């Protein structure tokens, strides 16, 4: 594992993508920035992170061994790795589908994965991770942000956190390379936010109550409504109502 620390960049995802286009970059290389001037979130949103207070990093993977229809397993191993390192500091931690890491009803980590495909092969994945560590005030309109410091009152060393996080992610990524697909999928499903019981959701037809059945290796999210109807969704087709 190779850690590149930089002072400032627009987005570590862009930095790592450009670096990997210019030169050969080893798998599991991680770029950690002190600050990002245009940190990106999912669906074109921005990512708030006060300079020097948080983990804002991107990791490079070459998961060409992974069948495209199982691509979501990479997302699962990242979420599991981040969840486990957070558990060393605070508990309980869970994963909100598809790949937000939550503590109770609050988001502590966002993950942005950008894949480069050729045909059916995932050549390269740039995995951007933002973990709220020592930030105490959030000013953007991000939904439910929380940091480790807000939860524990304790300042956490960013270098130490990053090293431990890379260790847990490498552990899960090794399992992925070994083909332990069902173990990964089971572990991910076991850690899901709202994994049992009925909760309110919203799709394009309105709100309804449902329970989670399963997340498949493709990333599809399966629910059963309180009327007994099974429904499946891909990312952005459904939202969680609080």
- Per CB under 6 A, does 51 bind ligand BTN? no
- Per CB under 6 A, does 96 bind ligand BTN? no
As given in the structure block, the two tokens for residue 238 are 């459904």
Residues near 119 by beta carbon (within 8 Å), at least 6 away in sequence:
none
Contact letters (x/-) for ligand BTN, 55-94, by CB under 6 A? -xxx------------------------------------
Shorter beta-carbon distance to ligand BTN: residue 30 or 176: 30
Shorter beta-carbon distance to ligand BTN: residue 39 or 63: 39
As given in the structure block, the two tokens for residue 138 are 């959030």
Q: Hey, which residues between 118 and 137 contact ligand BTN (CB under 6 A)?
A: 128-130
1 contacts 171 by C-beta, under 8 angstroms: no
Tell me the three state secondary structure of residue 109.
strand
Angle made by CA atoms 142, 191, 165, in degrees to the nearest 5? 70
> What whole-number distance in Å separates Cα of residue 60 and Cα of residue 38?
20
What distances in angstroms separate CA 87 from CA 19, 24, 103, 161, 167, one per listed residue? 32, 34, 10, 11, 14
- Per CB under 6 A, does 112 bind ligand BTN? yes
> What whole-number distance in Å separates Cα of residue 106 and Cα of residue 99?
13
Shorter beta-carbon distance to ligand BTN: residue 47 or 173: 47
Which range, of 53-61, 85-93, 202-210, 221-229, touches ligand BTN by CB under 6 A? 53-61
Q: Hey, which residues between 9 and 48 contact ligand BTN (CB under 6 A)?
A: 11-13, 36, 39-42, 45, 47
Q: How far is the CB of 112 from ligand BTN (least distance, A)?
A: 4
User: Which residues of this chain interact with ligand BTN, rule CB under 6 A?
Assistant: 11-13, 36, 39-42, 45, 47, 56-58, 100, 110-112, 128-130
């Amino acid at each position: 594992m190779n850690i590149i620390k930089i002072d400032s960049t627009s987005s570590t995802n862009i930095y790592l993508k450009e670096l990997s286009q210019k030169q050969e970059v080893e798998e599991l290389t991680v770029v950690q920035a002190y600050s990002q001037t245009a940190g990106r979130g999912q669906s074109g949103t921005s990512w708030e992170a006060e300079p020097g207070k948080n983990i804002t990093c991107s990791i490079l993977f070459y998961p060409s061994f992974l069948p495209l229809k199982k691509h979501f397993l990479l997302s699962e191993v990242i979420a599991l790795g981040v969840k486990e390192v957070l558990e060393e500091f605070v508990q309980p931690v869970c994963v909100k589908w598809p790949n937000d890491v939550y503590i109770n009803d609050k988001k502590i980590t966002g993950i942005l994965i950008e894949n480069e495909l050729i045909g059916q092969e995932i050549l390269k994945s740039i995995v951007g991770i933002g973990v709220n560590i020592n930030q105490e005030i959030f000013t953007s309109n991000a939904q439910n942000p929380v940091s480790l410091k807000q939860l524990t009152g304790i300042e956490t060393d960013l270098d130490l956190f990053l090293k431990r996080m890379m260790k847990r992610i490498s552990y899960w990524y090794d399992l992925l390379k070994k083909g332990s697909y069902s173990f990964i999928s089971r572990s991910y499903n076991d850690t899901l936010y709202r994994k049992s019981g009925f909760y309110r959701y919203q799709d394009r037809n309105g709100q309804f109550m449902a329970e989670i059945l399963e997340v498949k290796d493709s990333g599809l999210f399966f629910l059963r409504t309180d009327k007994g109807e099974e429904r499946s969704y891909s990312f952005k087709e459904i939202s969680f109502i609080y």
